[in-house]
Amino acid sequence: MGLGLILFPAWLANAQLEKGKAVSTLWEPWAVTASGVFTEGIEGPACDRDGHIYAVNFARQHTLGKTAPDGRSEVFVTLPEGSTGNGIVFGFDGMMYVADYTGHNVLRIDPKTRKIAVFAHDKGMNQPNDLALAPDGMLYGSDPNWGQGTGQIWRFDRSGKVKKVAADLGTSNGIEMSPDGKTLYVNESVQRNVWAWTRDAAGDLKDKRLVRQFEDFGFDGMRADIDGNLYITRYGKGTVVKMSPKGEILKEIGVLGSKPSNLCFGGEDGRTVYVTEVEHRRLVAFRVDRPGLAWQRWQSRPAAKP
């Protein structure tokens, strides 16, 4: 698989790093990468233990890019023919799981060897979009049908076995688990609803309930902090909204572009949010008050042996 390093001028990398260091004020955004280094398909960010940010469609379509906190970036992997990545999540096994919406798969990538394999596939999947990780290692995936304005949710156990756990949705997109693993949240991009389900011991969903409906603009990616607050990208509005589990709007943050598509938590303390932004095809970041759930999960597992 092809690997390529995109070399930015030293002054640009240093400027991005210094700008990031200088932004100590909470909620103030800064650009992590230069504009245009990703395609318009920029999506699905996830951070590893060391603080690198991974996002899809770097430099060209069908790739995953790896970006250091100072903005230096490279093509990490090129996906197999017919595959296009979207949402990314790291499992408790240290593997990277990627929603492949054109291949109708969930891919598994070994970060050490960069080997790519199909983890899960089902012919009933429309366009696997985003992924969420449960405390027991199960994955959940949103699966919209954009043409029909409908969606569904799939569950993937640790062996890759697939089960549809919810249907009859609108355009299901952002998906996230509560810190205790008892509640799954999914948003609908077109209908602008945020739904919650109770998750039972078997991993099935019940007691669907509306958390909040928004009046305008679309939704995209969604991630939680360690308190269970949801950070939701408002595509077209150019913001990320911080919402409590009960649906109360706590904060709204601008992201230096009108089309934020997804986000993740990272940084040394887990309080840096990285946003994939489509209008300028770049990564943007801002600081928050509480660490992210995904960052906390990295701290709870032993570091891999070199």
Per-residue pLDDT of the chain in tens (306 residues, 90 and over written 9): 333 444 444 434 444 444 444 456 999 999 999 999 999 999 999 999 999 999 999 999 999 999 999 999 999 999 999 999 999 999 999 999 999 999 999 999 999 999 999 999 999 999 999 999 999 999 999 999 999 999 999 999 999 999 999 999 999 999 999 999 999 999 999 999 999 999 999 999 999 999 999 999 999 999 999 999 999 999 999 999 999 999 999 999 999 999 999 999 999 999 999 999 999 999 999 999 999 999 999 987 766 555
By C-alpha distance, which of 105, 107, 100 is closest to 124? 105
Contact 29, 14 (CB under 8 A): no
By C-alpha distance, which of 69, 72, 74 is closest to 21? 69
The pLDDT of residue 301 is: 72
Q: Write out the H or E segment, with its range, that includes residue 131.
A: strand 131-133
Contact 184, 224 (CB under 8 A): no
| Architecture of the domain whose range is 4-299 | 6 Propeller (2.120)
The pLDDT of residue 217 is: 97
- The one-character DSSP state at 101 is T
Starting at the edge strand that comes first in sequence, how are the strands of the sheet with 230-235 ordered? Answer: 218-224, 230-235, 239-243, 249-254
Contact 265, 240 (CB under 8 A): no
Contact 237, 216 (CB under 8 A): yes
C-alpha to C-alpha distance for 205 and 190, rounded to whole angstroms: 22
Q: What contacts 202, CB < 8 A, 6 or more positions away?
A: none
